[in-house]
Amino acid sequence: MKKTTSLILGLFLMATTTFAQRTNVISYLEIYDTTTGKHVVIKEFPYHIEAPNWTPDGKWLVYNSGGKLYKVSPDSPGEPIEINTGFATRCNNDHVISSDGKHIAISHGTKEDGKSRIYTFPFEGGTPTLVTPLAPSYLHGWSPDKKQLAYCAQRDGNFDVYVIPAEGGEEVRLTTAEGLDDGPEYSPCGKYIWFNSVRSGLMQAWRMKADGSEQTQMTHDETLNSWFPHISPDGKQVVYISYNKDDVKPGDHPANKNVKLRLMPAEGGASKTIVELFGGQGTINVNSWAPDSKRFAYISYKMKE
C-alpha cells in the first residue's frame, strides 16, 4: 500500500526531531515493578530524553538525547555518561543492545541524505559499522543468537518488517500486508518476532515466526491503537504502549499525548492497563525490561510552562 504523505512525514520527523536536544520538556526516567504494581521516578532531566534500554547485566539504562547515547545506573543514577558513538551523532530512539551486552545497534540519520540507517558498534564505544545500505531503516530487534537484526523499512513507498544478518548482507522482507508494519522484536527464545500492524484497522500487536510465517494478531483493543510490544526476558509477559483511538490516526505515534502502558501474557490473553501517563513517542520505543523480568523502564514527560 502506498503510504500517505502525512505518514511518511511523520516517520521522518520521528527520526529527526531527536537529533537536536529539546529543552521545552521535563523528562522523567521511571521504573515499574510488576510484582508490586509500583512505579518510581529514578531521575529527572530538564530536557528531552527517550527510549531506555536495560543492559543484560542489569548495570545500566541506556537512552538517547540530542542525537547521542548515554547511560545511567538504575540503582544510583548520577550524572549521565555519554557513550562514544563515533560519527553517529544523529541517533534516534531505535537502539538495541546485543544479548551478551557487548554491542549496540542503532538507527542513525546518515549525514549525506539524513535518512535513517542501521549501524553497530561496541558497547564501550567505537566507530559504527554500517549494516543497512538501503534507507530509511528503523531498528527494533536483535535476535538472541546475535545473528539477525529486525527492523521497519520503507521500500518503494511501503513500510514493512525486514531482517538482515547483523554483520550485513541481503535483507529479507517478512511482511506484505496492506498498511504499516513496525516495531519488530524477537522473543527471548528466538522463535518469534512480535510487531505492530494496522492491517486490522487499528494499530495492534502481532506475532509471527522468525521466518515470517504464521502472522497472528495478539491484541484486539477496540478503542486503542497499540504499539511496540516488548517481551520480558523470561518470555512470559509483554508490555506495550497504547493511544486512545480518537487521539491519533492508527499509523501515528506522536509525542505529548495521554497514553497507557499495558501488560499482557506472552501466550496471549487479556491485557490490563498498568500506567497512564503523558508521553508517547520516546516513552518505550525499545525493549526496556530488566534482566529479572520483574521491572521495566520508561519515560514520562511534562511540558515546561
Q: Where are the domains of the chain?
A: 5-303
Q: What is the spatial distance between Cα 186 and Cα 35, in angstroms, rounded to a whole number?
A: 24
Say if residues 131 and 119 touch (Cβ distance below 8 Å).
Answer: yes
**Residue/partner pairs of 76-79 with CB below 8 Å, 24 or more apart:** 77/29, 77/42, 77/43
- pLDDT value, residue 36: 98
Q: What is the spatial distance between Cα 87 and Cα 110, in angstroms, rounded to a whole number?
A: 9
pLDDT beneath 70, residues of the chain: 1-21
* Residues listed for the chain: 305
- Pairing between strand 272-279 and 216-217? unpaired
Give me the sign of the Cα torsion angle 297, 17, 186, 97.
Answer: negative
Burial class (CB in 10 A: 0-12, 13-18, 19+), 61: buried
Q: How far is CA 155 from its chain centroid?
A: 20
pTM of the model: 0.93
- pLDDT value, residue 19: 57
Tell me how crowded residue 285 is: count the other CB atoms within 10 A of its CB: 28
How many helices (H) and strands (E) would you count in the chain? 1, 23
Say if residues 48 and 35 touch (Cβ distance below 8 Å).
Answer: no
Report the SS3 class of residue 77.
Answer: coil
Sequence-ordered alpha helix ranges (H) in the chain: 5-16
Q: Does domain 5-303 have CATH number 1.10.760.10?
A: no
- pLDDT value, residue 24: 93
Nearest-CA neighbor of 301 among 111, 115, 45?
45
Report phi then psi at 8, rounded to 5.
-60, -45
